[in-house]
Homo-oligomer: A and B are copies of this chain.
Amino acid sequence: MLVLSNADVERLLPMSDCIAALEPMYADYANDKALLSPRVDNMAPTTHPGAYYAFKHMGGTWPARGVQALRINSDILKHPVIAGKPRREKQPLAGGRWVGLVLLFSTETGALQAIFPDGVMQRLRVGSANGIAMKHLARRDCRTLALIGSGWQAGAQLMAALSVRAFKEVRVFSPRAATRDAFIGEARSRHPGVDILAAGSAQACVAGADAIMAATSSMVRVLEPAWLKPGIHVSCIKSQEVDGEVLDGCDRVFVHTARQAKQMDNVLPGTPNVSEEHKRGWWNDPARPAASYPDLGQLVAGSAPGRARDDEITCFANNVGMGLQFAAAGALVLERAKASGVGHELPDDWFSEDVHP
């Protein structure tokens, strides 16, 4: 049993390889050859005032790679009001750190094969999903990218976009100018040869862009219907960043998956500040449910057609995560870690037993 670190995952899993690892999983998912475990969230009170405990897990079984993944998050959450809006804030109370883990099992032997933190892979898998969608939906001659957001997820969106299209210019907008400028500094050194520019407004950011990627933690619409010019491709990493009006303005919309509930909530009475916002939105609108759109798997498998003409407006609404992403990316990381002797090896007997119920 191998214990890996975020640094190991980052070293072993370049974005382009993560995209290549996930793509066949999506096709298998569309063809009923890969299986999600649903996302389940338990929420309960703690002794910390105003905070609650959230235990989340999601998983996936991918027989083609012989892998079962389970991703677990164990967080103490607060919803402080910042600039008038409630924000969902994970408290680093585990010795000043956060707790998110991925467990990988073999579907051929049952064995637990690896445990590693989820943070780096979480970011890569979101980037990959949107990168795969862009690869199949955006015009091939895209040159200008508008990036809304300059946080950790925005960096992965940029990596993914540059893995699938030869963008020459990237414009970054964020209401937080200092964060944006730090982001641009890092992005420039990571992506030499691409013009990475700060945009002073969202409008300046998107003007003339061939693609717009939203990568924020916003609970309200970030993409504006007025930005939907013929030929553009748009995407988000969170359902709330788009709304019905945006989706209705696109010629072709794909979701990540509509085959699982967004999440299954188990909330203990007395749990403070739990947000119900994820339950309200276009994805639950009977007039326009997520299930009315084809999913990324169908796009990759070719069972739902992608862009047909250069002037179409295409959209990837990454509505919910899929535990299968951790199975696909995890299988590759595990293979590489074993091949290169990376990680802490622990005795397999600690994680198996000679009795069974």
Contacts and interface: CB of A to CB of B under 8 A. Distances in A.
Given A76-B109, A95-B111, A268 B353 contact: no
A353 B108 contact: no
A6 interface: yes
Q: How large is the interface on A (under 10, 10 to 19, 20 to 34, 35 or more residues)?
A: 35 or more
A246 B101 CA distance: 45
Number of copies: 2
Interface string A24-62: 000000001111111010101111100001010101110
A55 B47 contact: no
A273 B66 CA distance: 19
A319 B200 CA distance: 62
Interface string A330-357: 0000000000000010101111111111
A97 B264 contact: no
B37 A40 contact: yes
A221 B99 CA distance: 45
A16 interface: no
A244 interface: no
A93 interface: yes
Contacts of A212: none
Given A97-B352, A268-B33, A45 B63 contact: yes
Given A32-B268, A35-B44, A68-B42, A352 B109 contact: no
A250 B209 CA distance: 73
A72 B103 contact: yes
Given A98-B110, A99-B353, A55 B48 contact: no
Contacts of A90: 356
A198 interface: no
A109 B94 contact: yes
Contacts of A37: 40, 42, 55, 57, 266
Nearest to A108: B46
A112 interface: yes
A118 B357 CA distance: 8
A266 B356 contact: no
Given A94-B348, A119-B357, A123-B357, 20 more contacts: A36-B266, A37-B40, A38-B266, A42-B61, A44-B61, A44-B107, A46-B63, A53-B61, A92-B356, A94-B109, A94-B111, A95-B349, A95-B352, A98-B352, A100-B356, A117-B352, A119-B353, A120-B355, A126-B357, A152-B355
26 contacts: A32-B269, A35-B268, A37-B40, A42-B59, A42-B61, A44-B63, A46-B66, A53-B68, A53-B107, A53-B110, A55-B61, A55-B68, A72-B103, A74-B105, A93-B108, A93-B110, A94-B106, A94-B352, A95-B348, A98-B110, A98-B356, A100-B357, A101-B112, A117-B352, A152-B355, A344-B350
Interface of A: 3, 5-6, 32-38, 40, 42, 44-48, 53, 55, 57, 59-61, 63, 66, 68, 70, 72, 74-76, 90-101, 103, 105-112, 115, 117-120, 122-123, 126, 152-153, 264, 266-270, 344, 346, 348-357
